[in-house]
Amino acid sequence: MPERIILDYGSGGKASQRLIKNLFMKHFANPGLNRMDDAALILDLQGPLSMSTDTFTVDPVFFPGGDIGSLAVHGTVNDVAMLGAVPKYISCAFILEEGLVMDDLERIVQSMARASSHAGVQIITGDTKVVPRGAVDKIFINTTGIGLVVADPAPSGHRAEPGDAILISGSMGDHGLAILSHRQGIAFETDVLSDSQALNHLILRLIREVGDIHVLRDPTRGGLATTLNEIAQQSDLEFIIDQELIPIKEAVEGGCSFLGLDPLYLANEGKFICILPESLATKALDIMRNDPAGQDAAFIGRVAEGRNGKVVLKTALGGHRLLDMLEGEQLPRIC
């Protein structure tokens, strides 16, 4: 019988202590966490800070290319980095469902440890709650991250300017399709892997070596289309995107057409949009393409004045149409 999480582990008593010591401390060990105080003492961060929090629930918990643990680290690290910051510390809080298999939890924790060490962040405080079976779906993880803003001025969705180039760091839709296809038990011939990865190192290089980056944003939920719309609205400008230039893997394209989904609305967990003066685009693309996290980076369009707040897609045939925001969830079609 596999060992399972029982309600006692959330009691705050000895069982909780054991879980913290034998699992979390074992894998996450670092000086800040090892102090075991009520809060983490941060001594080395001064100046403008970037902070972000996110809660992760994903079904299935283990998916091709990652799991909820690595996702919870990457998601928050990336959000902190999108402000032009170097992520330093993260907190993590678990809500565990009674009955969760201990080995699965350990796999998740190990994966978080690996992801944070790779991203160069430390998990310095955390929390665990156990709730009765059925109250959550296996495991929910909240992570909050904090980092030091190094870009000056910090990139922001308001800062896009007419004439700017719009770049993306890689192919679209991988994560969303990997999750959706596995949730429905539809596996494709070529398995699509989630792109979940930390982007902070690549972002730091862009800030240091290219500079003057106006907007950085990761197109997670709602995908590229929704995120571009958000930025176009924030900066009140028109974005003109060339459909043919958007990298989409063949397997993703095929899976999407089978399910009636649009890859431009599928979530990405390891890609970012970068908007900057067009004169800097080539340099930025070179840096991205030379980094494992940005090999398929591409120039996809421009910022213009015109239909303010709207994103226009130039199709492969040369026609034009609106690329609207996603409304609610994308659902597979009938026929």
Partner 1 sequence: MNLLNKFKDPELCLNILDQIKSEIQGEFRFMEVCGTHTVAIFQSGIRTLLPESIIHVSGPGCPVCVTHDREIASYLALAEKDLILATFGDLIKVPGPGGKNLKAAQAEGARIKIVYSAFDALKLALDHPQDKVVFLGVGFETTAPTVAATIKMAAEQGVRNFSVLSFHKLVPPALKALAADRDIQVDGLLLPGHVSTIIGLEPYRFLAEEYQVPSVIGGFEPLDILQAILIMIKQKNKGRPEVVNNYKRVVPDQGNAKAIETMYEVFRPADALWRGLGIIPGSGLAVAQRYEQFDAALVFDQELPQVDEIPGCKCGEVLKGLISPDQCPLFSTRCTPANPVGPCMVSTEGSCAAYHKYRL
Q: Is 21 exposed, middle or buried (0-12, 13-18, 19+ CB in 10 A)?
A: exposed
CB of 248 to partner 1, least distance (A): 12
Of 315, 99, 67, give the one whose Cα is nearest residue 179.
67
What's the CA gap between 67 and 62, in Å, rounded? Answer: 4
CB of 226 to partner 1, least distance (A): 12
Largest CA distance in the chain: 67
Judged by CB, which is closer to partner 1: 11, or 315?
315
260 is an interface residue for partner 1 by CB under 8 A: yes
Of 225, 222, 218, 221, give the one whose Cα is nearest residue 311.
225
Task: Kindly write out the interface string for residues 230-259 of this chain, putting x where it contacts partner 1 by CB under 8 A and - elsewhere.
Answer: -----------------------------x
34-42 CB contacts, 8 Å cutoff, 24+ apart? 39/125, 40/89, 40/91, 40/124, 40/125, 42/88, 42/89, 42/124, 42/146
Among 38, 44, 189, 327, contact with partner 1 (rule: CB under 8 A): 327
CB of 328 to partner 1, least distance (A): 7
Among 186, 196, 223, 272, contact with partner 1 (rule: CB under 8 A): 186
Amino acid, res. 65: G
CB of 327 to partner 1, least distance (A): 4
Task: Determine the 3-state secondary structure of 60 from DSSP.
Answer: coil
334 is an interface residue for partner 1 by CB under 8 A: yes
Give the pair of three-digit tokens for residue 77: 């690290």
Task: Kindly write out the interface string for residues 288-307 of this chain, putting x where it contacts partner 1 by CB under 8 A and - elsewhere.
Answer: -------------------x
333 is an interface residue for partner 1 by CB under 8 A: yes
Judged by CB, which is closer to partner 1: 2, or 319?
319
135 is an interface residue for partner 1 by CB under 8 A: no
Judged by CB, which is closer to partner 1: 143, or 330?
330
308 is an interface residue for partner 1 by CB under 8 A: no
CA pseudo-torsion sign 217, 57, 187, 291: positive
Element (H, E) at 146: strand 139-149
- What is the DSSP-derived secondary structure letter of residue 235? H
328 is an interface residue for partner 1 by CB under 8 A: yes
Among 29, 45, 187, 331, contact with partner 1 (rule: CB under 8 A): 331
318 is an interface residue for partner 1 by CB under 8 A: yes
Judged by CB, which is closer to partner 1: 43, or 317?
317
315 is an interface residue for partner 1 by CB under 8 A: yes
Task: Determine the 3-state secondary structure of 311 from DSSP.
Answer: strand
184 is an interface residue for partner 1 by CB under 8 A: yes
**Residue 263 near residue 173, CB atoms below 8 Å:** yes
Residues that bind partner 1 (CB under 8 A): 184, 186, 259-260, 307, 312-322, 324, 327-328, 331-335
